[in-house]
């Protein structure tokens, strides 16, 4: 899998890229969990998301936020990380100017960054948010949410209680023109230990449903 090096505001951004030969192939950006909690682009959930999009014909990019792995810079409490994500999406879009669709997928902290990126990129066609930390970070910026997507959460998540996520989902569902799918996985925790198969099944089914309606 090709390693690519992007140039961000804090310096080098380490990334992995899986391209497609079809110049109209859709694109997807994958965002990893919290850098200060051991998050990196090779996190099992992040890699799972990467492969789910790759198997469906997307050109996919995942990267390390600043200060993680060989990415330069230091943790910036979300501000710099959002800039990193914007840089990565810029690169992905520039590299694939004829892409038929654009998706953003994030896990935990990456879901928060991803939703912020979504608000700044109205051209985004869909999103996947796994275990969004709605009790730790303010998600009120989602007004309105510009794209339909899936929010996947575990019923046994003790870091972000399901009720906190459902509060945000209810707010998003009041908006016309978008559809928010909320999938609560019974018994799954925040880290999806022994539950990666559920991530694959649930996210895969959602992508298949969306792509059947809107072929990439």
What is the average pLDDT value for the chain, to the nearest integer?
96
CB atoms within 10 A of CB 117: 22
- The confidence score (pLDDT) of residue 1 equals 66
pLDDT digits (tens, 9 = 90+) for 64-79: 999 999 999 999 999 9
pTM here is 0.97
- The confidence score (pLDDT) of residue 144 equals 84
d(CA 42, CA 156): 24
Does the pLDDT at position 216 exceed 80?
no
- Mean pLDDT (whole number) for 35-57: 98
Does the pLDDT at position 136 exceed 90?
yes
Of the candidates 48, 50, 56, 60, the residue with the CA atom closest to the CA atom of residue 198: 48
pLDDT digits (tens, 9 = 90+) for 86-112: 999 999 999 999 999 999 999 999 999
Q: Distance from CA of residue 75 to its chain's centroid?
A: 19
Of the candidates 8, 6, 133, the residue with the CA atom closest to the CA atom of residue 80: 8
Residue 183 contacts residue 153 (beta carbons within 8 Å): yes
| CATH entry, 3-213, from 3.40.50.970, 3.40.50.1820, 3.30.9.10, 3.40.50.1370 | 3.40.50.1820
Element (H, E) at 68: none
Does the pLDDT at position 25 exceed 90?
yes
- Mean pLDDT (whole number) for 121-128: 95
Outline where DSSP puts E strands in 57-206.
59-63, 102-107, 126-130, 148-154, 180-185
Residue 28 contacts residue 18 (beta carbons within 8 Å): no
Does the pLDDT at position 18 exceed 90?
yes
Question: Which sequence spans correspond to the domains of the chain?
Answer: 3-213
Residue of higher predicted confidence among 49 and 174: 49
Does the pLDDT at position 194 exceed 80?
yes
């Amino acid at each position: 899998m090709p390693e690519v090096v992007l140039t961000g505001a804090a310096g080098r951004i380490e990334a992995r890229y899986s391209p497609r030969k079809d110049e109209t192939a859709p694109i997807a950006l994958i965002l990893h969990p919290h850098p200060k909690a051991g998050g990196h682009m090779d996190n099992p959930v992040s890699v799972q998301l990467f492969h789910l999009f790759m198997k469906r014909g997307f050109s996919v990019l995942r990267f390390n936020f600043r200060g993680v792995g060989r990415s330069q810079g230091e943790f910036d409490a979300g501000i710099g990380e959002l800039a990193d994500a914007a840089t990565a999406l810029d690169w992905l879009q520039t590299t694939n100017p004829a892409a038929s669709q654009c998706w953003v997928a994030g896990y935990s902290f990456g879901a928060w960054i991803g939703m912020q990126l979504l608000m700044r990129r109205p051209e985004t066609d869909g999103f996947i948010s796994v275990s969004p930390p709605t009790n730790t970070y303010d998600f009120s910026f989602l007004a309105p949410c510009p794209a339909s997507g899936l929010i996947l959460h575990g019923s046994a998540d003790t870091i972000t209680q399901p009720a906190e996520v459902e509060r945000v989902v209810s707010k998003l569902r009041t908006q016309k023109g978008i559809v928010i799918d909320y999938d609560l996985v019974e018994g799954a925790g925040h880290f999806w230990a022994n539950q990666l198969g559920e991530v694959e099944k649930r996210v895969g089914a959602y992508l298949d449903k969306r792509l059947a309606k809107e072929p990439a």
